């Protein structure tokens, strides 16, 4: 397979576990997308209209700052992009990440964790933000997907 990067944002640890397994399965570099201001438990309470994540997701133009912008995107041909589903789409920090780098000529493969929610409008949003990239359809996994399951999925993408 070409040079591969697994870049991910994880708020509670589920996506982090999945991303680490995926990086092992794909023999890929691993990069954590971290917000400049880490999310606290109360920030993630989707039932609270005043919670940080609720406020961010209500504004489609919200772009939370990243802790750093040193992801090795330029060296990768394929970028697996991981995140939890928030309000049927990618978290706003993913939008920040996508706007921070040049994805021209790259293949972006979204993967996400969710209790059952689909990616919804996120697929189109990612395609529009990863300018110049080929964005493959996203796939939902449990945070505990096996390496064998991930290898089967990667194989089915025909990336090589």
Q: CB within 8 A of 50, min separation 6: which ones?
A: none
Instruction: Please give the helix or strand (H or E) that residue 58 lies within, else none.
Output: helix 52-58
Residue 76 main-chain phi, psi, to 5 deg = -100, 145
Domains of the chain (ranges, CATH numbers)? 4-157 (3.40.50.360)
Residue 39 main-chain phi, psi, to 5 deg = -75, 135
pLDDT digits (tens, 9 = 90+) for 87-110: 888 999 999 999 999 999 999 999
pLDDT digits (tens, 9 = 90+) for 110-153: 999 987 777 888 899 999 999 999 999 999 998 789 999 999 99
pLDDT digits (tens, 9 = 90+) for 41-72: 888 888 888 999 889 989 999 999 999 999 99
Packing angle of the helix pair 92-100, 122-129 (nearest 10 deg): 20
What tokens were used for 118?
């689909």
């Amino acid at each position: 397979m070409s040079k591969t990067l697994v870049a991910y944002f994880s708020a509670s640890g589920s996506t982090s576990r999945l991303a680490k397994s995926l990086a092992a399965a794909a023999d890929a570099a691993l990069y954590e997308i971290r917000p400049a201001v880490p999310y606290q438990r109360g920030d993630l309470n989707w039932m609270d209209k005043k919670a940080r994540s609720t406020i961010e997701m209500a504004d489609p133009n919200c772009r939370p700052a990243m802790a750093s912008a040193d992801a090795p995107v330029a060296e990768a041909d394929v970028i697996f992009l991981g995140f939890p589903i928030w309000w049927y789409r990618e978290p706003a920090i993913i939008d920040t990440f996508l706007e921070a780098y040049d994805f021209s000529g790259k293949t972006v493969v979204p993967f996400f964790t969710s209790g059952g929610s689909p990616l919804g409008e996120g697929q189109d949003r990612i395609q529009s933000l990863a300018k110049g990239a080929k964005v493959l359809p996203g796939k939902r996994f449990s945070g505990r997907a096996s390496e064998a399951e991930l290898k089967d999925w990667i194989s089915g993408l025909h990336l090589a």
